[in-house]
Amino acid sequence: NVLVTGARANEMNENGVNRVQAAGAAYVFERGTSSWYQTQKLLASPRVVFDLFGISVAIQGAQVFVGAY
């Protein structure tokens, strides 16, 4: 009951500041009893302009895989 989604054009860090153009992000959600809840925002380190982190995402077992450009 886990979902991961990529946001390759995301520009903000985990605090909503430090804009980096198209650095990207991935978001992890877990299903609750009646809806989905965001549990994590994943960012590359370091964040690089046009890195497109989150261009592809996958889950296998307990592991999350995030692609970048």
pLDDT digits (tens, 9 = 90+) for 21-59: 999 999 999 999 999 999 999 999 999 999 999 999 999
Beta strands in the chain (DSSP E): 2-7, 25-31, 36-42, 56-60, 63-67
Name the residue with tokens 């996958």. Answer: 58
What pLDDT score does 15 carry? Answer: 84
C-alpha–C-alpha distance, residues 43 and 27, integer Å: 9
The residue ranking higher by pLDDT, 17 or 54, is 54
State the pTM of this model. Answer: 0.90
pLDDT of 30 reads 96
